[in-house]
Amino acid sequence: MPANQSVETQTPPASSGNGPASRDKQHVESRLIELWEAAFGRHPIRADQDFFELGGDSLLAARLFAQIEKAFKTKVPLTALEKSPTIAQLAEILSAPTAPSSTSCLVAVQPNGTLPPLFCVHGHSGEIFFCWTLSRCMGTDQPLFGLRSQGLSGKTAHHTVEEMAAHYLQEIRAVQPHGPYYLGGFCFGGMVTYEMARSLTAQGENVAVLAMFNTPAPGSLEGWPLRQGYLAKRIMHELRKLAALGIRDKLKVFYTKTKGLGRLLLGSVRAIICRISAKSRLGSAQKWTQRMLSVPDLNVAAAKAYSPGPYAGRSILFITEEAPSLYTVDPRSGWTPLIQGGIEVHDVEGDNLTMYDTPYVEGLARKVKACLDRARSA
C-alpha cells in the first residue's frame, strides 16, 4: 500500500452534531448494559462480555445500534462493533470527546494475510457488518476490505450505481493498483460490483472473481416494493415460513418483517416525491426533498435506475432459497443474458437477513473460500 494512502482500520465515533462532546463513562456503561440486556433478553450482562460470544448477529446489532443512537444522540457505525465488541469498549468510544469520522469508504476488515484481498461492497443499507462475520470464517490469511456507502461518512452520497463504482474503484486501486481483482457485493452491492468489474475489464484489468450475494437483476425492482405481483409472492413465501414456527417466534418474525417493509415503503414514497420535485423549477424544493432521502433510500433508487450493458467475464452467484421471492425476477434468470462468460450458482442457507449469521455463515464462507482458491489456481 502506498505510504501516503491510509485505509480505515478502526472507526472513531461520528457525532450527530447535537450530542455532548464527552460523557461520564460509568453512566454510559450503565445505560449500555440496560440496552444490551433488553436487546438480548437476558440478565445480567457484564461490561466485559463480547457481543458475538453472547450470540449477537447482524440483525440484533442493527436494532441495538439504533437504540444506542436514540439514547446517546450520536451515530456510531456498526463497524465499531468489530473493534469494540464489549460494553466497556463501546463506552470508551461514546464517552470520549467527539472526533471527526473517517470519510473513506474503504474499511480494512482484515488487512493481514498473504492471499490477494477480497473487496466487498455494502448492501442497500450502506453498512458492511456482513464483512466482519464473513471474515471471521475466512481464515487469518485472507485479507478482506469492505466498502461502506459514502453518505454514512458524512460526505455527499452518490446517487447512481455508476458513480459508486467509479469512486470505490479509486479507493481500491490506491490499495491494489492492478489485478487480478477479487470482488464481491451483497444484495444491491452486487450491482455496484458488477459495474466495477465492467469498468476494470474495459481498462484491460483482470477480474479473477465477480461474486454476487442475493443480488437483484437489473430491471427486477420495477415497482418494488409496491408492485402487487411482488407483494403477493412475498407474502405467500413469508406465510409458509411462519407456519413452521411457534407463536412467540411467529410474532417476532412478523414484527421484524412488517417493520422492514414499512421502511421500504416509506423510502419509496420519499423517492417518488424527490423525483417529482426534480422536475420542478424550484431549486429549494429539490434540495429539501433530497435531504429527505436516507442512504438506504438512495441505494434502492440507484438499484431501480440501473440499466447496465453486458459483462464479458464470468460471475458467481450465491443465492438463498427465498431470493426468487424477494424480487419480481429470479436473479438467476435475470443476470444470465448480461453475463456472457456464464454464471456459476451456489445455493446457500439462511435468508437475506441471516445468511451471514451463525450458523449459516460458516457454510457460506467455505463456498466463497473454495471459489477464491480455484480462481487463484486457474
pLDDT one-digit tens code per residue, 169-203: 999 999 999 989 999 999 999 999 999 999 999 99
Does residue 49 sit in the same domain as residue 111? no
Residue 127 pLDDT class (50, 70, 90 cuts) = confident
Lowest mean per-residue pLDDT among 1-5, 275-279, 338-342: 1-5
Tell me which of 95, 121, 145 is where a domain ends: 95
- Strand 181-186, strand 207-213: pairing: parallel
Does residue 339 sit in the same domain as residue 199? yes
Domain count, the chain: 3
Would residue 6 count as lying in a domain? no
Tell me which of 64, 95, 126 is where a domain ends: 95
Mean pLDDT of 95-117: 77
Would residue 100 count as lying in a domain? no
Output the nine-digit C-alpha cell for 351: 435468508
Tell me which of 302, 337, 354 is where a domain ends: 302
Question: Sign of the CA dihedral 323, 317, 185, 85?
Answer: positive
Would residue 188 count as lying in a domain? yes
pTM for this entry: 0.73
Residue 250: predicted pLDDT: 64
Helices (H), 216-246: 228-242
Percentage of the chain beyond pLDDT 90 is: 38
Does residue 198 sit in the same domain as residue 343? yes
Ranked by mean pLDDT, the top range of 22-31, 164-173, 257-266, 319-328 is 164-173
Output the nine-digit C-alpha cell for 195: 459495474
CATH number at 364 reads 3.40.50.1820
Does residue 275 sit in the same domain as residue 328? no
Does residue 213 sit in the same domain as residue 319? yes
From the list 194, 208, 199, 191, the residue with the least C-alpha distance to 166 is 199
Higher-pLDDT residue of 193 and 279 is: 193
Q: Tell me, what amino acid is at 21?
A: A
pLDDT at 16 over 50: no
Would residue 203 count as lying in a domain? yes
Would residue 195 count as lying in a domain? yes
Residue 82 pLDDT class (50, 70, 90 cuts) = confident
Mean pLDDT of 75-88: 80
Would residue 48 count as lying in a domain? yes
Kindly report the CA angle at 280 between 279 and 281, in degrees rounded to 5?
120
Does residue 201 sit in the same domain as residue 161? yes
326 alpha-carbon distance from chain centroid: 16
Residue 209: predicted pLDDT: 97
**Dihedral pair phi/psi, residue 162, rounded to 5°:** -65, -40
Query: SS3 for 145?
Result: strand
Residue 58: predicted pLDDT: 74
Residue 8 pLDDT class (50, 70, 90 cuts) = very low
Would residue 8 count as lying in a domain? no
Helices (H), the chain: 25-40, 58-72, 80-83, 87-95, 129-136, 161-175, 188-202, 228-242, 247-278, 283-292, 295-305, 323-326, 331-335, 360-377
Does residue 190 sit in the same domain as residue 259? no
172 alpha-carbon distance from chain centroid: 17
Residue 335: predicted pLDDT: 96
Domain that includes residue 278, residue range: 228-302
Mean pLDDT of 343-369: 92
Lowest mean per-residue pLDDT among 1-5, 327-331, 350-354: 1-5
Residues 6+ apart with CB under 8 A from 73: 16, 18, 19
Question: Sign of the CA dihedral 333, 306, 143, 12?
Answer: negative
Residue 212 pLDDT class (50, 70, 90 cuts) = very high
Kindly report the CA angle at 121 between 115 and 125, in degrees rounded to 5?
145
Answer yes or no: are the C-beta atoms of 129 and 58 closer than 8 Å.
yes
Does residue 270 sit in the same domain as residue 341? no
Residue 12 pLDDT class (50, 70, 90 cuts) = very low
Does residue 252 sit in the same domain as residue 133? no
Residue 42: predicted pLDDT: 86
Does residue 210 sit in the same domain as residue 315? yes
Output the nine-digit C-alpha cell for 31: 445505560
Does residue 178 sit in the same domain as residue 295? no
DSSP structure string for 301-369? HHHHH-----BSS-EEEEEETTHHHHSSS-HHHHHTTTBTT-EEEEEESS-TTTTTSTTHHHHHHHHHH
Residue 6: predicted pLDDT: 39
Does residue 213 sit in the same domain as residue 238? no
CATH number at 51 reads 1.10.1200.10
Polymer length of the chain: 378
Would residue 117 count as lying in a domain? yes
Render pLDDT for 27-48 as a digit per residue (tens, 0 to 9): 889 999 999 998 888 888 999 9
